[in-house]
Amino acid sequence: MPYAAITSVGHFLPEDRLTNADLEKMVDTSDEWIRTRTGIRERRILRDPNKATSYMATEAARECLQKRGMDPEDVELIIVATVTPDMFFPATACLVQANLGARNAWGFDLSAACSGFLFALSTAARFIESGKHERVLVIGADKMSTITDYTDRKNCILFGDAAAAVLLEPDPECGVIDSVEHCDGNNWELLCMLGGGSLNPPTHETVDRKMHYLHQEGRSVFKLAVEGMAQVAVEIMERNNLTADDVRYLVPHQANLRIIDATARRMGLSPDKVMVNIDRYGNTTAATIPLCLYDWERQLRRGDNLILAAFGGGFTWGAIYLKW
């Protein structure tokens, strides 16, 4: 059985920066509070109202394919992880497929909030391992600024816009070695967007009650996230008999630097083995993990052991053992 190996990574970051100093002018907050509580200094915002998640996803995918020298027509499957699709339907994956000219690909969106890329990578790997496909694009993309209430100081400091994409191809030795996935919908109200769906279809009232914005009970989510990320990262190490020395990098979802640090400590990893770019981009939801892979790509060598770990709305959480 072949493994699903990442053979190329692409990304898209909007040019506009929203710094902590900018946020100080918008809500009652301070650079010091944001940095010490979250580790974030600035985020990128896609200000053009005519450009949505599919635009960022397409740009990231385009760069990914160009780096590999692959024709879009050779792509067989496109999975887009997002909670900010351009619209409910058609799926963002269909728009990306058309934009790329990937006329031989099928595709779909996957909704798992901040665990979206991890779940999508795990899903995509099964298509490679089974021999069904040989060239699969997995994209994490979110335009979080469209569901962020910029009068809510607890949440507006956290999120940014971005996309990143990976190409999966079969490999006899390297790729996704193992994965664990969890979800528990019992506490879904702690992190959700209530409006717009079939439960609360859009009305003037849903707009007035700000139900089309992300809602998060930060403190409760924080406790669950610290526990969930650490538990699943340790679980995948133990399942594969990996010690801290065996792990080259932890590639964590970037929600809060304190959650990342706590996870690394539980795994016994020193800070130099942890990918962190939350300071520059904030929480870009489905894009954080592939964006880290993009930023660290030059430092990775074939065969390096990576542990990917995420926790997000749902709740959803999981980890992947990836041999680079």
CB of residue 97 vs ligand ACO: minimum separation in angstroms? 25
Identity of the residue, 134 or 217, whose beta carbon is nearer to ligand ACO in the bound complex: 217
Query: Out of 19, 29, 104, 200, which residue is the one contacting ligand ACO (CB under 6 A)?
Result: 29
3-state secondary structure 214-230: CEECHHHHHHHHHHHHH
Secondary structure E strands in 64-120:
77-81, 106-110
Binding mask 189-208 for ligand ACO (x = CB under 6 A): --x-----------------
Q: Is 221 in the site for ligand ACO (CB under 6 A)?
A: yes
Instruction: Determine phi and psi for 147, rounding to 5 degrees.
Output: -120, 20
Nearest to 154 by CA among 18, 260, 38: 38
Alpha carbons 315 and 256: distance in angstroms, whole number: 16
Amino acid 195 reads G
**Based on the number of CB atoms within 10 Å of its own CB, is 224 exposed (0-12), middle (13-18) or buried (19 or more)?**
middle
Q: Which of 20, 155, 256, 283 is catalytic?
A: 283
Binding mask 38-57 for ligand ACO (x = CB under 6 A): x-------------------
CB of residue 67 vs ligand ACO: minimum separation in angstroms? 28
Q: Which of 11, 20, 94, 114 is catalytic?
A: 114
Q: Tally the residues of the chain.
A: 324
Residue 17 is classified by DSSP as E
Residue numbers 95-124 binding ligand ACO by CB under 6 A: 113-114
**Based on the number of CB atoms within 10 Å of its own CB, is 111 exposed (0-12), middle (13-18) or buried (19 or more)?**
middle
CB of residue 274 vs ligand ACO: minimum separation in angstroms? 16
Instruction: Determine phi and psi for 303, rounding to 5 degrees.
Output: 95, -10
Q: Is 255 in the site for ligand ACO (CB under 6 A)?
A: yes
Identity of the residue, 55 or 311, whose beta carbon is nearer to ligand ACO in the bound complex: 311
Identity of the residue, 7 or 256, whose beta carbon is nearer to ligand ACO in the bound complex: 256
CB of residue 172 vs ligand ACO: minimum separation in angstroms? 35
Identity of the residue, 157 or 247, whose beta carbon is nearer to ligand ACO in the bound complex: 157
Of the ranges 121-129, 253-261, 270-278, 298-306, which one interacts with ligand ACO (CB under 6 A)?
253-261
Q: Which of 155, 156, 253, 292 is catalytic?
A: 253
Residue numbers 132-191 binding ligand ACO by CB under 6 A: 153-154, 157, 191
Provide DSSP, 227-245. Answer: HHHHHHHHHHHHHTT--GG
Q: Is 225 in the site for ligand ACO (CB under 6 A)?
A: yes
User: Strand 305-312 vs strand 316-323: parallel, antiparallel, or unpaired?
Assistant: antiparallel
The answer to whether 283 is a known catalytic residue is: yes
Q: Is 285 in the site for ligand ACO (CB under 6 A)?
A: yes
CB of residue 23 vs ligand ACO: minimum separation in angstroms? 7
User: Strand 17-19 vs strand 42-44: parallel, antiparallel, or unpaired?
Assistant: antiparallel
**Based on the number of CB atoms within 10 Å of its own CB, is 132 exposed (0-12), middle (13-18) or buried (19 or more)?**
exposed
- Residue ranges that bind ligand ACO, judged by CB under 6 A: 29, 33, 37-38, 113-114, 153-154, 157, 191, 218-219, 221-222, 225, 255-256, 259, 283, 285, 311-313
Catalytic residue positions, numbered: 114, 253, 283
